[in-house]
Amino acid sequence: MRKNPHYTDIEIARWREYEDVLTDSLWLMSSRHTGNGHKLDYHGNFIPQIANQMFRRYTKEGEIVVDWFLGSGTSAIEAVNLSRKLVGVELKPELIEHVAAKLPEEALEHSIRLLCGDSTNAETADNVRGRLAELGSEKAHLAILHPPYADIIRFSEHKSDLSNCTSIADFLDSFQQVAQNAYDTLENGRFAVLVIGDKYSAGELEPLGFQCMQRMNDVGFKTKSIIVKNIEGNEVAKGKNTNLWRYRALAGGFYIFKHEYVIVFFK
């Protein structure tokens, strides 16, 4: 019998019992899970189901996840639900306060660290190391990266916000700095997860997913799997006039994005 992987609590000998653990590369999810602390209260497609699947596949209870784009705190909430620890990095101080208000006080004391900072900076990486030490480890056991999809939605007025980059090249260079920080703070033999979509610009497809995947490879990560996930019903403030978008697609010769990528990497 094959031994259990060192990075998960899943018992391989009982593999038939894990019917809710996904192993296919196409994820069709009709809606965002709510409850257990989760609700749809912020832009973005990092749904609880992604955190749940990735945490269970690639960490054990008590291990530490670093989320480099914390947002509204989906990963922090799911870390509490699944008895994981987490360091969450977020550029906007008001979001740090928003996430902290969602979490149990005991979790903020013992298992969750919220860090306001720019994920592209070396100083922020040093601060992440400090939070990891507080939680009892030199390195993270899983890295989560869910950056803005370039300038599709502007998340803040901060110059260092990746959604304010003036070109795709600048966006990718900044993202690579975050990828490098994630690589440097991750334990060898562990995994990173990138959630990203593509975009259209001036009538041309910008394959952000594959471009960001390449930047992850450039800093040392090895690509393990590419999952395609639908995004319908999981977004806020992206416009829901289906007929208008269908008209634009037919008139412009393009197809409407209904998917994004969940790309798994190995260090």
Give, for all 267 residues of the chain, the pLDDT tens digit.
678 899 999 999 999 999 999 999 999 987 665 656 556 565 555 889 999 999 999 999 999 999 999 988 999 999 999 999 999 999 999 999 999 999 999 999 999 999 999 999 999 999 999 999 999 999 999 999 999 875 555 555 666 667 666 788 999 999 999 999 999 999 999 999 999 999 888 888 999 999 999 999 999 999 999 999 998 655 444 445 667 878 888 998 989 888 999 999 999
3-state secondary structure 149-166: CCCCCCCCCCCCCHHHCC
Q: What are φ and ψ of residue 194, in 5° steps?
A: -110, 125
Q: Is residue 4 part of a domain?
A: no
Our separate counts of H helices and E strands in the chain read 8, 10
Please give the tally of structural domains in the chain. Answer: 1
Domain with 91 in it: what CATH number?
A: 3.40.50.150
Q: Is residue 153 part of a domain?
A: yes
Q: Is residue 262 part of a domain?
A: yes
- Tell me which residue range forms the domain holding 145: 41-266
Q: Is residue 17 part of a domain?
A: no
Q: Is residue 154 part of a domain?
A: yes
Checking DSSP bridges between strand 26-27 and strand 222-230, what pairing results, if any? parallel
Q: What is the pTM of this model?
A: 0.90
Q: Is residue 33 part of a domain?
A: no
